[in-house]
């Protein structure tokens, strides 16, 4: 009998590094992306000298929770995650952050204490799985039960956008140009296919009156006949407007994403159209599933391991969806390569993932990795290297952290409406439904 090598996977340190990462002027119903957006990079160090990586939102409300939650991880084994999640309920959340607030930056439903905690725990979980995988010589997908596919499909995430951030604002330049009408959207889609090989397309809507966005999707359908198309106005439409758009685009849409806000409105739309509805706004926690599924309000749930609480919770969500015959795919917010790697590992383990996942990654020109992840034919190859299969570039991390340190506080909390007011001082977050 051989004795297994001894590996001390006790967590000895958790390093938390907030950064600001360049973001192009992408438009949504709330406003426009800031020139730099906050992210938090997590490093979990174990006693055997292994370092695992995680990534999540970097706004102040997450940073405030990250230190007390990280302190609860120190001294535990990296594999002692279930108890960490259970005991995290004891970590207090500032009541101001959750009193009926709708999350403004991420457009992902109502803010709750649980969702805030889970958004931080997810980064700790991913970092622990990365450390475990590295130490054991196993890829993260193997720790999750193993991959059922070797590549994970992603969709091109199209945005209405300005050519650049407002004059006089410190920002990185991008080479995508403007996209403010159907021709601009189609040109952007062509660039996505040329650079990354994407074959399905999602347009972030809720920016212009619905007729203009219908025209943009029609133009995409003409330019890419037969390809799956999606439109996501982030709940900006009334039930009647949602039904009008569904009626006009039903023949070309793979699904319509959050046309109206909240489960009752989505249920009403769903009852009166055959176009499948997807959501990352009315089903964002396990507690919200029962009402939405029993009312048949959504046909596809877009998971997001950040706010669902990590990779294992994502697998559990997928299992619930399978039970109810609801489809599953993946939502994305601005993120870097650590999260893309985590998304790809968990997506590779979900048998019932039948739609291409969303990813902002092509919009992010900066990363903290030694090597960027790549899309081939619109897909990311699932890594079989130990852990997530990515490596931290400490110089890049330090430079992006320096930018965060140098910021006077205006960019440390993402606020798309405030970013819009730089160009349009009269801008106010639109009342919903906007149309």
Cis peptide before 433 (omega within 30 of 0): yes
Min dist CB 321 to Mg ion, Å, is 16
Q: Least distance from C-beta 166 to Mg ion, angstroms?
A: 25
DSSP code of residue 34:
-
Handedness of CA 154, 104, 90, 319 (dihedral sign): negative
Question: Residue 375's CB: how many other CB atoms inside 10 A?
Answer: 22
Pairing assessment for the beta strands 201-204 and 156-159 based on DSSP bridges: parallel
For residue 278, the 8-state DSSP code is E
Pick 258 or 367: Cβ nearer Mg ion: 258
Question: What whole-number distance in Å separates Cα of residue 68 and Cα of residue 319?
Answer: 31
Q: Which is nearer to Mg ion, 259 or 389 (CB)?
A: 259
By beta-carbon proximity to Mg ion, the closer residue of 103 and 257 is 257
Using alpha carbons, list the distances in angstroms from residue 63 to 77, 319, 423: 23, 31, 29
244 catalytic per annotation: no
State how far the Cα of 56 lies from the Cα of 18, in Å rounded to an integer: 10
Radius of gyration of the chain (CA): 21
Q: Which is nearer to Mg ion, 257 or 415 (CB)?
A: 257
Active-site position among 204, 227, 345, 355: 204
| Measured distance CA(435)–CA(210) in Å, rounded | 8
Strands 277-279 and 300-303: parallel
Least distance from Mg ion to the Cβ atom of residue 145, Å: 28
Encode 139-168: b = buried (16+ Cβ within 10 Å), e = exposed. bbbbbbeebeeebbbbbbbbbbbbebbeee
Specify the residue, 115 or 412, whose C-beta has the smaller distance to Mg ion. Answer: 115
Closest CB 204 distance from Mg ion, rounded Å = 8
Q: Which one is catalytic: 331, 335, 355, 360?
A: 331
Name the residue nearer to Mg ion (CB basis): 17 or 280: 280
Contact present, 251 and 229 (Cβ < 8 Å): no
DSSP 8-class letter at 36: E
Shortest distance, position 257 Cβ to Mg ion, whole Å: 5
CB of 236 to Mg ion, least distance (A): 11
- What residues are paired with 371 via a beta bridge? none
Annotated catalytic residue 204: yes
Residue showing tokens 């949602």: 242
Site residues, Mg ion (CB under 5 A): 232, 257, 280
The residues carrying an active-site annotation are: 204, 331
């Amino acid at each position: 009998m051989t004795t297994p090598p001894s590996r001390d996977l006790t967590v000895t340190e958790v390093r938390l590094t907030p950064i600001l990462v360049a973001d192009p002027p992408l438009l949504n119903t709330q406003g426009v992306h800031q020139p730099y957006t906050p992210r938090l990079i997590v490093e979990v160090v174990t006693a055997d000298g292994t370092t695992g990586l995680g990534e999540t939102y970097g706004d102040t409300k997450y940073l405030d929770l990250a230190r007390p939650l990280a302190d609860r991880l120190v001294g535990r084994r990296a594999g002692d995650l279930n108890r960490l999640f259970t005991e995290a309920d004891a970590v207090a959340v500032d009541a101001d952050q959750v009193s009926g607030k709708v999350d403004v930056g991420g457009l992902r439903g109502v803010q709750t204490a649980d969702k805030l905690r889970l958004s931080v725990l997810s980064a700790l979980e991913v970092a622990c799985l990365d450390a475990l995988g590295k130490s054991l010589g196993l890829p993260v997908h193997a720790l999750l039960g193993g991959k059922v596919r070797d590549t994970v499909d992603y969709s091109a995430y199209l945005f209405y956008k300005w050519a650049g951030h407002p004059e006089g604002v410190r920002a990185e330049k991008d080479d995508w140009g403007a996209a403010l009408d159907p021709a601009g959207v189609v040109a952007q889609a062509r660039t996505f296919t040329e650079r990354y090989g994407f074959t399905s397309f999602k347009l972030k809507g809720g920016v212009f009156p619905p007729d203009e966005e219908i025209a943009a999707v029609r133009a995409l359908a003409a330019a890419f006949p037969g390809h799956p198309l999606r439109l996501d106005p982030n709940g900006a439409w009334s039930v009647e407007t949602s039904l009008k758009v569904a009626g006009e685009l039903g023949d070309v849409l793979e699904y319509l994403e959050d046309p109206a806000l909240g489960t009752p409105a989505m249920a009403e739309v769903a009852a009166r159209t055959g176009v499948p509805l997807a959501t990352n706004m009315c089903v964002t926690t396990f507690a919200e599933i029962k009402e939405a599924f029993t009312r048949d309000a959504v046909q596809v749930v877009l998971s997001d391991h950040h706010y669902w609480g990590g990779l294992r919770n994502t697998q559990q969500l997928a299992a619930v969806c399978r039970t109810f015959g609801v489809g599953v795919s993946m939502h994305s917010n601005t993120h870097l390569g650590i999260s893309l790697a985590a998304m790809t590992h968990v997506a590779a383990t979900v048998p019932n993932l039948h739609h291409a996942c969303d990813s902002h990654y092509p919009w992010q020109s900066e990363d903290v990795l030694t090597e960027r992840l790549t899309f081939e034919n619109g897909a990311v190859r699932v890594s079989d290297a130990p852990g997530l299969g990515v490596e931290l570039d400490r110089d890049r991390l330090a430079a992006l952290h320096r930018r965060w340190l140098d910021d006077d506080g205006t960019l440390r909390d993402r606020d798309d409406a405030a970013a819009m007011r730089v160009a349009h001082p009269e801008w106010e977050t639109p009342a919903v439904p906007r149309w």
